[in-house]
Structure 1
Amino acid sequence: MSAPLRLILFDVDGTLVDSQATIVAAMRAAFGAAGLETPARSELMSGVGLSLPVLMKALVPEQDDRTVNRLVAGYKEAYHDIRLSQGSAHSPLYPGARALLENLNGSPELLLGVATGKSKRGLDALIEAHGLERMFVTRQVADHHPSKPHPSMIDTARAETGVARDDTIMIGDTSFDMQMASAAGVAGIGVTWGYHHRSALEPARNVVEDFAQLADVLNTFRAVNHG
């Protein structure tokens, strides 16, 4: 009897790639263009993972929708310019990320996917820059879903792949990722090398410190689901 298909979903920013410098630079450009003071770096990073309009509104709750929309557009333009000028260096893969993805992708019973607050344009460009085009069978992006922690991204990824809840896992660095996993009824693995403090990663089933630990946890997940 063949093993059941299993779905492993990854967040992107702060989980697979370190885009902190680009995010902060694009935020500063957007706020500067709007004539507003840029929030502190810690405040900016605490909202990474949310869809961009939701994040901007959270950063400037006193501003009207027109200003929020201007900030969103300014951020997208600045981020796009940085990506074009720096290529893959604008969001380098964390050490160990590529090796893990390649190892997992070599197992026919494992399906890999992405659930990210990035736009489709941004995600597609990032995947192309790092040569990961054939890695992910499902790509869930902010354009098509409510912001995390709404479970829509995970629910849609499961619907596309036909994988059961018990055979699905979500990996991310933020409280939004873990809350989304909980809302979708799937296991969550929190990673500590990203943008939220370890204490914010509840209700993760596991919290890991590096990609070697993540590989061990995923091996256990695979073994359990083999029955």
Structure 2
Amino acid sequence: MYRAAIFDMDGTILNTIEDLTSALNYAMKKAGHRHNYSVEEVKQFFGSGVKVAMMRAIAYEEGMSEEELVKVGTADSSVKESDEIDDIQKIFRPYYKEHCKIKTGPYEGILSLLKTLRKKGVKLAVVSNKQNDAVMELVKDQFEGYFDFVIGEKEGVRRKPAPDMIESCLAELHVNKEEAVYIGDSEIDIQSAKNAKMDCVSVSWGFRKRAFLEQYENIHIVDTVEELKASLL
């Protein structure tokens, strides 16, 4: 059994996609861009933070393939940051913070899982690329009292897949990486755990489909919360 379980937020413990979609379409409309993205399209945009999500939305509007979208935000992508992207995220961030709890809620079985882990003495944490103020707001609203450490995207701290946030979390929990596991739903989470040199469990109910996750080597994928519980205990 692990001493600590570190969770991603969006697509892992919380179903946030409808509120994210509404906020993204709002920001894109204000900026004069396409603003009728579907939930399934928006799932492809998030995972690497707000700025990259906006970059992916515009790139997708301009015809970029789903395969190339994954590279946006990395050194392998031709899509670069711009003043327009900064302007769009400045619209998105405050709007989303005020509208992040309308249709958002835990995935079925997650609260029960967290209760079980706490009873077993497992330390619990959230490490997310989501904007930090929204992470704190949602944890307070949906999971108050469950987590020992929580961190979202902060200025001056490298976001996932860099290991910095996970390493800070482990230090706060006083747990070695060999005693902890990271749970997420995307390629960013897989890469983050690898960079932190720790175990990873990928869930298939989030923003990436099982077929997409299966292209990565040496990973463990679960399809239900019961399977996740069995993997952690």
TM-score interval, smaller chain: 0.7 to 0.9
Counterpart in the other structure of 1:21? 18
Return closer, same or farther for 1:17/1:7 CA change in 2, 3 Å cut-off: same
How many Å separate the matches in 2 of 1:148 and 1:174?
Answer: 11
Given the alignment, which residue of 138, 151, 154 partners 1:140?
Answer: 151
Shift of 1:34: 0.3
Long gaps (5+) in structure 2: 60-78
Question: Superposition pairs for residues 87-166 of structure 1, below 5 Å?
Answer: 87=101, 89-108=102-121, 110-130=122-142, 132-144=143-155, 145-166=157-178
Greater alpha carbon shift after TM alignment, 38-47 vs 166-175: 38-47
How many Å separate the matches in 2 of 1:154 and 1:213?
Answer: 23
Maintained 8 Å contact 1:188/1:203: no
Long gaps (5+) in structure 1: 220-227
Normalising by structure 2, report the TM-score. Answer: 0.82
How many Å separate the matches in 2 of 1:65 and 1:177?
Answer: 26
Pairwise CA RMSD of aligned residues? Answer: 2.1
Kindly provide the CA deviation profile for residues 104-135 of structure 1, in whole angstroms up to 9, marking residues without a partner as x.
11122x110001112221011111212x2221
Return closer, same or farther for 1:102/1:64 CA change in 2, 3 Å cut-off: closer
Kindly provide the CA deviation profile for residues 8-62 of structure 1, in whole angstroms up to 9, marking residues without a partner as x.
1001110111111111111100000000124844443113221112332343366
Number of residue pairs aligned between Structure 1 and Structure 2: 210
How many Å separate the matches in 1 of 2:154 and 2:81?
Answer: 22
The runs of 4+ residues in structure 1 deviating greater than 4 Å are 61-64
Given the alignment, which residue of 226, 229, 232 partners 1:212?
Answer: 226
Normalising by structure 1, report the TM-score. Answer: 0.84
How many Å separate the matches in 2 of 1:140 and 1:134?
Answer: 15
How many Å separate the matches in 1 of 2:182 and 2:218?
Answer: 9
Counterpart in the other structure of 1:35? 32
* Identity rate, percent: 23
Shift of 1:197: 1.6
Maintained 8 Å contact 1:7/1:112: yes
- Residue aligned with 1:116, SS: strand
Q: Does 1:79 align with 2:93?
A: no
